[in-house]
Structure 1
Amino acid sequence: MNKLLVFIISFLFTCGLVFSQKLTHEVYFDTDKYEVPSTEKNRLLLFISTLTDVDIESISIYGFCDDRGADTYNLKLSQQRAEAIKSIFSNNEISESLITNVDGKGKVLLKIVDEKNILKIRGLNRKVEIIVKPKEPEPEPEPKKEVVEVNKKKTEAEQIRSKLKAGDKIIFENILFKTGYARITPESKKTLESIAEALVERDNIYFTIQGHVCCTKYSRDAVDRRTKKRNLSEARAKFVYDYFAKKGVDKRRMRYMGMRRKFPLGGDPKYDRRVEILITYVGDENQ
């Protein structure tokens, strides 16, 4: 009995450790600099790419300096380093609402183990520490009884086949993009295919494909992690444009443009990583 009790306690403790596990990363800086070196930026972007499928509760960013320099100088520099990292997160579609701490801690006291290692130790102290806390998994919900929906919302394809006029806008709510990229998530492919089929059938409408991004400051566009260009909203619109063209939609009926982050929907950031079409002309059905 005692062995069983010990096993249960150990199991629960282990589960608690797994659920509370945090993801960490460190970015290192040159002396007296807060600009992120290119090699460190690439390492950081690789770390950010691993967060795509993580349900994040919070992100903490802490800046540090080595032991040289006045306290006021080090506090300012360490804060600038932390802010530089925050900007990279924002530019790569990580919502600032998740970043709960951006704090410059000043200098790290030098612990000399070997005189030959002083420069190396100081280099490791010029850093920003990033701590990502995932959300704890929610308990499985109880199965719901099947309910017949009376006023079920039309799908994107159904909206395209319905009565439309110039100025109408159709948001592709079920077309989601991978954070920082212009390619859609695997679960969105079937929906995009059905939209393309509807557009091939409904050949009397002309439209503009508008791409959007989330989480950037001042309505700026986000950086496309594949090309490293700040034109992610346009790249998303072009991805959909190329897909429609490949599926048989006449290119003369379409144009595409990036809307940057001018029109956030609010709520979950994933819904701002979107495309929508603006109907620009509707011809006769028999055209």
Structure 2
Amino acid sequence: MKQLIVAYLFLVSSFAFSQKEVTHDVYFGTDKYVVPLTEENRLLLFISSLDTITIEKVSIYGFTDDSGSSKYNLELSQNRANTIKDLLSGYGIDPNLITNVNGKGEILLKILNKDEVHQIRGLNRKVEVIVSPKKPILKASEGTKTEAAPIEKTIEDIKNGTLVKGDKIRLDKIYFKTSYSYVTSESKKTLESLAKVLVEKKKIYFTIQGHVCCTQNSRDAVDKKTKKRNLSVARAKYIYDYLAKKGVDKKRMKYIGLRRKFPLGGEAKYDRRVEILVTYVGKAN
């Protein structure tokens, strides 16, 4: 009976975790905005725990203790916030989800006991990370419309002008080298064709979605070149940079990493992929 109660409480707490904001504090040394190794390891554990939720947005707020001038503290708190943003992005959090990165300056010292001053100041030298999950989509029977699954299209559909918002283009012949963010030589011809048609079709706006294979619990993979766990993001950015270089307006594009949330099954190479989700199609002139 005791085991059943524990299991029930675990399920309830997991559900609550997925529905409510979750927070994490990262602590810094005096006058520092470089993250100590122990704090970076704690942050990594926190990021790993986010695999169970779908993130709506991430807010980052930097703080300092009451030492130093207000101007100095404001700048230091912003530097701390920026550092955490870079770390989150480097470890697989989509930069587009990070909506607030603000330095708030100093936290005024509240002295309860003079012997605790040093400890309290240490707790005030921090960055607070707030992760807001997406609200679950209710079933149609519960009064809310469900989201339709994207319709998969091809490069030919781009040429023919038959795309609409929500269409997804799976780039079947664009594959990435194992553990790296650059494409194989056999993929370059398809990538060139994609760039050419997207340069011509100026009314199509889209998001490039990067994927990886062979990781556990929907985690991102490590990019062997940079040693960062953000391979799906790096793959999407590779395509973004390539298209921009070929003349596709950056205002039409976004890129995100979807880690290993949507494996296709079959050979691993098919999950080392990118897809394009159409977000807007303007009227032809």
User: Post-superposition shift, 1:50?
Assistant: 1.1
| 1:262/1:93 CA distance change after superposition, 3 Å | same
After superposition, where does 1:80-229 map in structure 2 within 5 Å?
80-141=79-140, 167-168=189-190, 176-177=211-212, 183-184=214-215, 224=222, 229=227
Mapped partners of 1:269, 1:165: distance in 2 = 20
Q: Give 3-state SS (helix, strand or coil) of 2:57's partner.
A: strand
Change in CA separation of 1:225 and 1:31 when aligned onto 2, cut-off 3 Å: farther
Is 1:275 matched up with 2:272?
Answer: yes
Please, what TM-score do these two structures have when normalized by structure 1?
0.53
Q: Does 1:27 align with 2:9?
A: no
Q: CA deviation at 1:165?
A: 10
**Which position in structure 1 is the counterpart of 2:61?**
62
Output one character per residue of 1:69-118: Cα deviation in whole Å (capped at 9) or x when no partner: 00000000000000000000111121111111111111100011111111
Residue 40 and residue 49 in structure 1: after superposition, are their counterparts in 2 closer, same or farther (change >3 A)? same
Matches of 1:128 and 1:99 in 2, distance apart?
A: 14
AA matched with 1:97: N
d(CA) in 2 for partners of 1:140, 1:23: 25
Deviations 1:219-248 (A, max 9, x none): xxxx82999924864xx8xxxxxxxxxxxx
Larger radius of gyration: 1
Q: 1:88 to 1:232 in 2, by over 3 A?
A: closer
Name the structure 1 match of 2:165.
Answer: none
SS of equivalent residue, structure 1 residue 132: strand
Q: Distance in 1 between matches of 2:78 and 2:44?
A: 20
Shift of 1:49: 1.1
Task: Tell me which amino acid in the other structure corresponds to 2:67.
Answer: R
The total of aligned residue pairs comes to: 191
Equivalence for 1:262: 238
TM-score (norm 2): 0.53
What's the counterpart of residue 39 of structure 1? 38
Change (3 A) 1:141 1:78: same
Q: What amino acid sits opposite 1:124 in the alignment?
A: L
What runs of 5+ residues in structure 2 fail to find an aligned partner?
A: 1-15, 155-167, 175-185, 195-207, 241-252, 262-270, 275-285
Q: Is the 8 A contact 2:91 2:230 kept in 1?
A: no
Structure 1: any 5+ residue segments left out of the alignment? 1-16, 188-212, 214-222, 237-257, 278-287
Letter in 2 for 1:262: Y
- Identify the residue that residue 7 of structure 2 maps to in structure 1: none
**Secondary structure at 2:129's aligned position in 1?**
strand
